[in-house]
Amino acid sequence: MKNYFLIILLFCIGVATAQTEGSGKYTIKTLGINSKNSDFGTAFYGENKLVYATPKKGITLVNDVWEDNGQRYLDLYVSDITPDGGLVNHELLKGEINSRYHEADVIFTKDLKTVYFTRNNFYNKKLARDAKQMANLAMFKASVNEKGEWVNIIPMPFNDVSYSVGHPALSDDEKTLYFISDMPGSLGQTDIYSVSINQSGFGNPVNLGPKINSVAKEFSPFIDGEVMYFSSDRDGGMGGLDVYATKLTKYPPKPVLLNKPINSNKDDFVFIINKTSRKGYVSSNRGGGMGDDDIYSFVELEPVQFKCMQLITGEVRDKETAEIVQGATVAVKDAEGTVLNSVEVNDEGVFELEVLCETAYKLEGSKEGYTTQSKSLTTTAEADKITKLLILLGTGDILEQIETPVAVEEDKPEGLPEELPEEIVKVRPSTYIVNIEPIYFELNSSYLNKDAKRELDKVVELMNKYPEMIIESGSHTDSRGIEGYNIWLSTRRASSTVNYIIEKGIDASRITGKGYGETQLINECSDGVDCTEAQHAMNRRTEFVIIKM
């Protein structure tokens, strides 16, 4: 049926599969509130109350029964939560929120003044139907008045008669609304979407993508900080709908299946948990219940565990021309040389590969007609860290030769006196530079500020003092950023310093400039190495190297 993800979830046709490794540890118990009918879809209403859906109570009226299961349409009820997680003092939620059709799956703002909820597409006393005369689900927003009644019901702007929208969830900052839909563009039968909430209303719905959604059904999201719980009947579960968890980070980990007893070989869905007490509720039609869907309370003993993930990204370029190599492939291998994943660069020559933290990898860039280049690295323990690399492909038989170092006598610039003048300092073997304060540039800029020009004036003064002096302005970056970009940026910065000195009257034949990017780091802070900001700053330098005195 078209509205299979309708609140009551009677499709329940999941086939049990082999149990896979899950995560988290929980205790669970059924509630006395459960009946022979469908009771499910819990939502916290403040700290001490719980809202849930169950068929209407009282006298049955004409057209008051849903033909698909023979039960009355669902309404929203509220109960008090007891210290042991039980529910007492049940009453119908006040106001206009309940209609003659289904209502279920709600989420409240922290101030309890706004609620988002799911209902058949019933608005202004009219039930909207699609071309096949199906009444799909829609999502609505309501507010509370001074009597505690839910009023001012308005439909979400992305509702549509041709597809369903429902199962709302809110981010901790309440600036993002998550929901389920089978709208056009969905990857599976139902997907999880997000939409921004702003002062003017709502943004455009965004599909959370294949890292979270599957070709199967996704249901009932719930946000706990940066963790999102949801249900899915994807392959690899315990059977029917199962509860999964993932992290709402830039590079979300593979969804983790929660352990028994949260999951069973039947449908398990609408998982919610209190951020502080770590107590919560889950709905299920597992065996041993009162009848249809039942509500269970649980206590989390051990939290769900996620794998720490990072991203390796970068460019593939021609070693000789520095042009991007379209159609190149980048593969990532483990320490034993097994290929774990491979991707083709995009039109800009850029690749992205997700990897585990604290793991050794080898990256290989290749394309027919080029010699394969390899780069090895070990990732750090920092989740969501981005490591940027440049892979240069050449056409020769050997790209890089490793030579055995030999001791050589240090070379000194021609004309350099044995006793160095105070304006010149030795910084490394065979490297002597003009002794000035560091020249700093704004991020991604080659603009010379007043402080930089003051130091460059000292270089001009020294070159006037030694008319035979020839120097090179070498600009360097730290290792953060794509190597090709770092070369380009440092070249611009070197050109800025050279042009300034020439404009001050120094002959152009006496000064050259070169951008080295991150190729001449003066400490260990290369890609993949965890360094402080001060250590990275040591590599961001412009040096005026003495070529001749």
**Domain contains 219:** yes
Structural domain boundaries enclosing 316 = 309-393
Tokens in use for 337?
């040389």
Q: Do 82 and 175 have their domain in common?
A: yes
pTM for this one?
A: 0.64
Note whether 40 and 283 are within 8 A (CB).
yes
Residue 60 above 80 pLDDT? no
Question: Are residues 371 and 395 in contact, defined by beta-carbon separation less than 8 angstroms?
Answer: yes
Quick one: 48 and 172 in the same domain?
A: yes
Is 14 part of a structural domain of the chain?
Answer: no
Q: What percent of the chain has pLDDT over 90?
A: 46
Highest mean pLDDT among 18-27, 122-131, 507-516: 507-516
From 302, 333, 348, give the residue that closes a domain. Answer: 302
User: How many Å separate Cα 121 from the centre of its chain?
Assistant: 33
Q: Note whether 249 and 314 are same-domain residues.
A: no
Q: End of a domain among 302, 328, 344?
A: 302
Instruction: Assign 72 a pLDDT band (cuts: 50, 70, 90).
Output: low
CATH number of the domain enclosing 541 = 3.30.1330.60
- Residue 245 inside a domain? The answer is yes
In a domain, residue 403? The reply is: no
- Same-domain status, 246 and 348: no
In a domain, residue 351? The reply is yes
Element holding 360 (H helix, E strand):
strand 360-366
Structural domain count, the chain: 3
Q: For the chain, what is the radius of gyration of the CA atoms?
A: 32
Tell me, yes or no, whether 473 and 542 share the same domain. yes
Q: What is the mean pLDDT of the chain?
A: 84
Instruction: Report which of 222, 303, 233, 224 is spatially closest to residue 268, judged by C-alpha positions.
Output: 233
pLDDT over 70, % of the chain: 89
Same domain, 272 and 367: no
Do 140 and 59 reside in the same domain of the chain? yes
Q: Is residue 417 part of a domain?
A: no
**Tokens for 324?**
């991007």
What is the band of 398 on the pLDDT scale with cuts at 50, 70, 90?
very low
Q: Given a cut of 80, is residue 408 above it in pLDDT?
A: no
Rounded CA separation 473/543 (Å): 6
Same-domain pairing of 274 and 196: yes
One domain for residues 229 and 354: no
Spatial distance between the Cα atoms of 539 and 279, rounded to a whole number of angstroms: 50
Residue 113 covered by a domain: yes
- Beta pairing, strands 511-517 & 470-476: parallel
Residue 189 resides in a domain: yes
Q: Supply the CATH number for residue 164's domain.
A: 2.115.10.20
Q: How many CA atoms lie within 13 A of 47 on its CB side?
A: 4
Is the confidence at residue 403, as pLDDT, over 80? no
Among 399-403, 503-507, 509-513, name the one with the lowest average pLDDT: 399-403
Residues 413-464: tens digit of each pLDDT: 888 888 888 888 887 777 889 988 878 776 667 788 888 899 999 999 999 9
CATH number at residue 323: 2.60.40.10
> In terms of domains, do 77 and 214 share one?
yes
Query: In one letter, which amino acid is 522?
Result: I
Summarize the confidence of residues 256-276 as an average pLDDT. 96
Average pLDDT over residues 524-541: 79
Nearest to 288 by CA among 17, 20, 29, 15: 29
Cα gap 145→140, rounded to integer Å: 17
Asked if the model's pLDDT at residue 235 lies above 90, the reply is yes
Of the three residues 278, 302, 326, the one that is the final residue of a domain is: 302
Residues 428 and 383 both lie in one domain: no
Answer yes or no: do 440 and 325 share one domain.
Answer: no
